[in-house]
Structure 1
Amino acid sequence: MPNNRLKLIKIIHVARRELGMDRDTYMQMVRGLQGLDAVQSTSELSVPNLNRVLDALKKRGFKVVPSPKTRGKPHNFESRSMPDMITKIEALLADMALPWSYADAIAQQMFGIERCSWVRQEKQLKAIIAALYNRQRKLSSQKEK
């Protein structure tokens, strides 16, 4: 589950809209959760309580669907353990409108590593970036013809 407060609040607001809940109905549901009977706004909630609210919305039928832009994006993308070069990979993929699975396939083919996000060696990350850069050059030269 996401643990970023703002991201959770945004997901909760999307869920509320998709479920067609007006503010009063939503706040009634929130206040019905144990220990949240005095809550006036979602912004008052801690991350664990935001997760509880999101779980309650899921029980009412909300399904978290990743946007097409982030489908396949490493779940730990914003983690401090993720190498900085991963953002370069993301930029190249976005520029060519390619999914993360394309970078995963490169990592698998070149190094036998199933996911690009599992690559930690700088040399290997540079090789993936080089492969993507070559693909980008090839695509841009095809567009010029």
Structure 2
Amino acid sequence: MSQPNVHTNPKHAQRRNAAIGKIHIGKQQLGMDDETYRAMLLTIGGVKSSKDLTPEGIDKVVRHMEKCGAVFSTPKRAGRKPRNLGSASSRSAQLGKIEALLTESRLPWEYAQAMAKRMYKKQALEFCDYDELRGIIAALVVNAKRKNRGGSQ
């Protein structure tokens, strides 16, 4: 008879380990000592150790920690910068500007890729011409100004 929490699918095991890691991050953020942490696991999840939590128990514990003030955020992946433009290209300079605007706004490359698709029906930034890249830069500048204006009020 196998244990209910042991997964043979590596993706399931990865997700489970990530969720348990999230719980441990919450423990740190909330400044819980080991005794308090174990009492919380027993009360909320019905187990003495996080490794014994069911998927539902993991969700309950994470929700409880969020209510207590733990903040869990998923890291934004930067994505892939377009690579097929030579460094002497005027479009390359525009990509540098796009990269700077994305970094400043803490947005991934996928954001600019989605803009190219939405604004110009291009599947990737690599397919945008000089004027289209200029339009994406303008839209990113407007977005940055809007965010700054909204945060200062």
**Structure 1 residues 131, 64: CA separation in 2 closer, same or farther (over 3 Å shift)?**
farther
Q: TM-score, normalised by structure 1?
A: 0.52
TM-aligned CA deviation for residue 58 of structure 1: 0.8
Counterpart among 124, 134, 137 of residue 128 in structure 1: 124
Distance in 1, matches of 2:69 and 2:39, equals 17
**Identity score, percent:** 22
Structure 1: 4+ residue segments shifted above 6 A: none
**What is the SS of the residue equivalent to 1:32?**
helix
**Structure 1 residues 130, 59: CA separation in 2 closer, same or farther (over 3 Å shift)?**
same
Q: TM-score, normalised by structure 2?
A: 0.50
TM-aligned CA deviation for residue 129 of structure 1: 6.4
**Structure 1 residues 41, 131: CA separation in 2 closer, same or farther (over 3 Å shift)?**
farther
Counterpart among 79, 87, 92 of residue 81 in structure 2: 92
Counterpart among 89, 97, 118 of residue 108 in structure 1: 118
Distance in 2, matches of 1:19 and 1:5, equals 21
**Structure 1 residues 131, 50: CA separation in 2 closer, same or farther (over 3 Å shift)?**
farther
Quote the residue 1:31 is aligned against.
42
Quote the residue 2:22 is aligned against.
11
Higher helix share: 2
**What is the SS of the residue equivalent to 2:124?**
helix
Distance in 2, matches of 1:129 and 1:10, equals 36
Quote the residue 1:62 is aligned against.
70
* 1:13-52 CA distance string (max 9 Å, x none): 111101111121111011112x60xx23111112211011
Distance in 2, matches of 1:50 and 1:27, equals 14
Structure 1, gaps ≥5 residues long: 72-89, 112-123, 136-145
RMSD (CA atoms): 3.0
Paired AA for residue 24 in structure 1: E
Would you say the 8 A contact 2:112–2:125 is kept in 1? no
**Structure 1 residues 14, 128: CA separation in 2 closer, same or farther (over 3 Å shift)?**
same
Alignment: residue pair count: 94
**What is the SS of the residue equivalent to 2:48?**
coil
Structure 2, gaps ≥5 residues long: 1-11, 83-95, 103-107, 134-153
